[in-house]
Structure 1
Amino acid sequence: MTSAPETPHPADPRTRLRRAAPVPYWLDRPGSPGAAPRLTEDTRCDLAVVGGGYTGLWTALLAKRRFPKLDVLLLEQRTCGHAASGRNGGFCSPSLTHGLANGVTRWPREIGLLQRLGAANFDAFARDLETYGIDCGFARTGKVTVAATDWQARALADAARLAHAHGEPATLLDRDALRDYVDSPLWSAGLWSPDYALLDPARLVWGLRRACLDQGVRIAEHTEVQALDTRPRGPVRLRTPYAEVRAGRVALATNIYRPLLRRLSLSMVPVYDYALVTEPLTDAQLAAVGWTGAHGITDAGNQFHYLRKTDDGRVLWGGYDAIYHYGSRTDDALTQRAATFETLAGQFADAFPALADVSFSHAWGGIIDSTTRFCMFAGTAARGRVSYALGFTGLGVGATRYGATVMLDLLAGRRTEATSPAMIRRPPVPFPPEPVRWLGIQATRASLAREDEVGVRNTWLRTLDRLGLGFDS
């Protein structure tokens, strides 16, 4: 006798993911502008910006503010914000260094300068949103980092002491105090960081794009730059499928995509990160998990989660897996990964048993441009006619504006406070070629997962620490 197939329990991840759209929640809503025409005729410009994400849009906008008569052309291979800028969690940090601890470890003598530059950029970011009428829901809601183990709680205590030593506000939360922010059986301690913002990633892209057009920036979408010709004399030539651009200066804001300069080929690796968004929740459901404030939440693991609310009462739950594919492979198909989505859905139910039956409306992934030092780098080529700012890794939303400022200063040949840090003057240690790259990343991922389980860094991680290397999302 054949038994009937087992009916999935409502809390089964597959059941709750059944209706999830395979697209970013942020981009799957009204308000997306129509695409600009592709470039089909040869043209000239003073400044060509390659890439229509945050970095490229900020660069074009700030260039027009500095020099209103400058002819600026922005070239985007798809549509503005289709990649990382439209797929991230919308967390906006004042840090330029992927957090204070990473900055102190790598640039201890300059950390005061880097913190000051980060705070000034964060304030200018907010002012510019107001100046250009960009309504992206930017709000300094603060963030709570939560601990699930004793060693994570001790790490939060260390982070609090480090923050206080450098003038950053931070408050340790025991289990009872944490319940004022979120109530989960997994988390026993927290760290409240008030100087943190949340925003709507897609609305930021669309707002920056509109502001660029209002200021006279020319935008060509569905226009891939296939090659740069940086011959010693004359303009830089950019080859696209249908036309050539001759530019006096070029700013590369290409994220993890082909960097167009061979020297950058080992500077970054593509890391795939994934996220889910729930169906809209009621106030009673959110109250049941103690999350009545507008703040964001991250956990303290190496394989960390990030979660936040949306304007329409959903919860975004992302992170954990950071997937690298052999040979730095990138492909739109890799933005969907059923195994990771099921893992995330199960972990969501573990964190919030009261929401274990909640379904998810969207499930997607995106590429992060990770470097060995976890934060951006910048530089020039072609005798100063080409600049680049890349490698923002995680926590890079706010730093993209700083990267734009640095690129414009470098193209102008200006030595400014923004270009002075060693973080800008010295590139990151490159990743090794394959197969060593893949083997090293897999060893690092396994070691980080083991540390999350036992709270001890093994010999491999300690060696990377001494060398100032790493892998992160």
Structure 2
Amino acid sequence: MQLRSDWTTALADAQPVPYWLDDPGRPRPEPALTGAESCDLLVVGGGYSGLWTALLAKERDPGRDVVLVEGREVGWAASGRNGGFCAASLTHGLANGLARWPGEIHKLEELGARNLDAIESAVARHHLDCDFERTGEIDLATEPHQLQELTAWHAESRRHGLAEDVEYLDADAVRAEVDSPTFLGGLYDRRGVAVLNPAKLVWGLKRACRRLGVRVYEHTPALTLKPYGAGMAVRTPYGTVRARTVALGTNVFPNLLRRVRSYTVPVYDYALMTEPLTDDQLASVGWRGRQGLADSANQFHYFRLSADNRVLWGGYDAVHHYGGRVRAEYDDRPATHAKLAGHFFICFPQLAGVRFTHAWGGAIDTCSRFSAFFGTAHQGRVAYAAGYTGLGVGATRFGAEVMLDLLAGERTERTELEMVRRKPLPFPPEPFAWTGIALTKWSLARADAHGGRRNLWLRTLDRFGLGFDS
């Protein structure tokens, strides 16, 4: 695609920081841990996974002594810089869930819907000022083969008694919702997705945890995890925490359990945020329902409106660096930001002249089945959840429930799930992991350019259940 100068000019003043975190209301971090602490439950990680775990632990048992440690500041990583799509899905989409767990897909859909309802309830109960809007989401077709795939999938899901609240929209109907010359049709899930301000959610969860008595320490990385008597001990730079049980919510960062590390790889995702749209600009697009949007290509875009009517536009490039490295310099990728800007103005030519104020990126963790996995270690005293692959805004609350069930040794409707009991296939060591991911990305781009036709490599991955489906 030839990049026009007016597209790239729109990026001239964009700040290379996540829009959500560039907030004068950002709370000050809590002091670092110094000395020795002891508790019933230690939570490692101050993103959604850790914060939901700490909050739910106190709600289940107000007398439980809970400590949370975060290596930098809560929400500084994926939890504070994502697109803010809070989905009911626990399985990275109904198609993925039906393919992998056909026998329990109805239960997974039910649990996912209940989980999203519980998040909405928690937002109200704990006064989490995070711009939560239950807008729903439209999955869009922008190519004829995508439209065929969406209509076929809609019919198939209905045959299984699923997606009953999902409505098919033809080109006229979808463009009546949001107007783009590229939209050929879509599936509108009216209840299964909310949008929110991800950083404000993190900060609100932190406040709620502290109100319930959770002791939160920031700038406190967990360095080692070892058994200590009947519990566990975690060493930090300036102290130690001894706990009866430990929940690990570190996701993209190296797990304290070395044997878990091969199950995830970091992938870099990138996004732009526009200046606020004027009333006339917003009217030219429509978007009165403020739905979340995503196209259905393999290399897809996701986009939504912020509370002040900016457009967040992200996705498409998913970059894995050799060796699974996570480095700050990878967060800024001008070539990808320029590509995204060009795609934005193709989608919305009526917004020519709009400027971008922020352009950022960062790592998320993914696993070979594209949805979270769970487990325990050290005779059940340590639990972990990881591999959310972009679903962490919503699914981490479910993962927190699972970790607490596992630490309690309870058999619940969650722990009985095959999804919870079984892990995905691990990634191979380098150079095989990088080669396989690079080949997969090339194959997905090729499929997008050739009517959705999947080559031998993708069909082989499909056969062995290794994700990477559209």
TM-score, normalised via structure 1 length: 0.96
- Secondary structure of 2:259's match? helix
Q: What is the CA distance between 1:9 and its match in structure 2?
A: 6.9
- Secondary structure of 1:26's match? coil
8 A contact 2:69–2:222 mirrored in 1: yes
- Secondary structure of 1:12's match? helix
Aligned with 1:79 (options 41, 56, 73): 73
Q: Distance in 2 between matches of 1:235 and 1:105?
A: 39
Q: Distance in 1 between matches of 2:469 and 2:341?
A: 22
Q: What is the CA distance between 1:10 and its match in structure 2?
A: 6.0
Which residue of the partner structure matches residue 89 of structure 2?
A: 95
1:345-384 to 2 correspondences below 5 Å: 345-384=341-380
Which residue of the partner structure matches residue 467 of structure 1?
A: 464
The answer to whether 1:12 aligns with 2:11 is no
Q: What is the CA distance between 1:230 and its match in structure 2?
A: 2.4
The answer to whether 1:403 aligns with 2:404 is no
- Secondary structure of 1:318's match? strand
Which residue of the partner structure matches residue 3 of structure 1?
A: none
Moved more, 198-207 or 173-182: 173-182
- Secondary structure of 2:247's match? strand
Q: Distance in 1 between matches of 2:5 and 2:10?
A: 7
Letter in 1 for 2:409: G
- Secondary structure of 1:119's match? helix
Q: Distance in 2 between matches of 1:150 and 1:471?
A: 21
- Secondary structure of 1:11's match? helix
Q: Distance in 2 between matches of 1:290 and 1:159?
A: 27
Which residue of the partner structure matches residue 224 of structure 1?
A: 221
Q: Distance in 1 between matches of 2:170 and 2:6?
A: 30
Identical columns (%):
56
1:70-469 to 2 correspondences below 5 Å: 70-164=64-158, 165-168=160-163, 169-195=165-191, 196-230=193-227, 233-454=229-450, 455-469=452-466
Letter in 2 for 1:166: G
- Secondary structure of 2:262's match? coil
8 A contact 1:393–1:472 mirrored in 2: no
Q: Distance in 1 between matches of 2:290 and 2:24?
A: 23
Q: Distance in 2 between matches of 1:267 and 1:472?
A: 18
Q: Distance in 2 between matches of 1:31 and 1:415?
A: 42
8 A contact 2:72–2:220 mirrored in 1: yes
The size of the alignment, in residue pairs, is 464
8 A contact 2:7–2:345 mirrored in 1: no
8 A contact 1:96–1:396 mirrored in 2: no
Q: What is the CA distance between 1:69 and its match in structure 2?
A: 1.3
Q: What is the CA distance between 1:470 and its match in structure 2?
A: 2.9
The answer to whether 1:52 aligns with 2:46 is yes
Q: What is the CA distance between 1:471 and its match in structure 2?
A: 4.0
Letter in 1 for 2:386: L
- Secondary structure of 2:6's match? coil
Q: Cα deviations across residues 162-187 of structure 1 (Å, max 9, x unaligned)?
A: 44233321111111111111221222
Uncovered stretches (5+) of structure 1, i.e. residues with no partner:
1-7
Q: Distance in 2 between matches of 1:191 and 1:112?
A: 19
1:13-28 to 2 correspondences below 5 Å: 13=8, 15-28=9-22
Which of structure 1's runs of 4+ aligned residues deviate more than 6 A?
A: none
Q: Distance in 1 between matches of 2:161 and 2:270?
A: 33
Q: Distance in 1 between matches of 2:454 and 2:322?
A: 25
Moved more, 209-218 or 391-400: 391-400
Which residue of the partner structure matches residue 5 of structure 1?
A: none
8 A contact 2:461–2:468 mirrored in 1: no
Task: Rate the CA distance shift 1:448–1:9 in 2: closer, same or farther, 3 A.
Answer: closer
Uncovered stretches (5+) of structure 2, i.e. residues with no partner:
none
Q: Distance in 2 between matches of 1:258 and 1:54?
A: 17
Which residue of the partner structure matches residue 29 of structure 1?
A: 23
Q: Distance in 2 between matches of 1:107 and 1:12?
A: 43
Q: What is the CA distance between 1:134 and its match in structure 2?
A: 1.1
TM-score, normalised via structure 2 length: 0.96
Q: Cα deviations across residues 77-127 of structure 1 (Å, max 9, x unaligned)?
A: 000000110011111111111111100000111111111111111111111
- Secondary structure of 1:180's match? helix
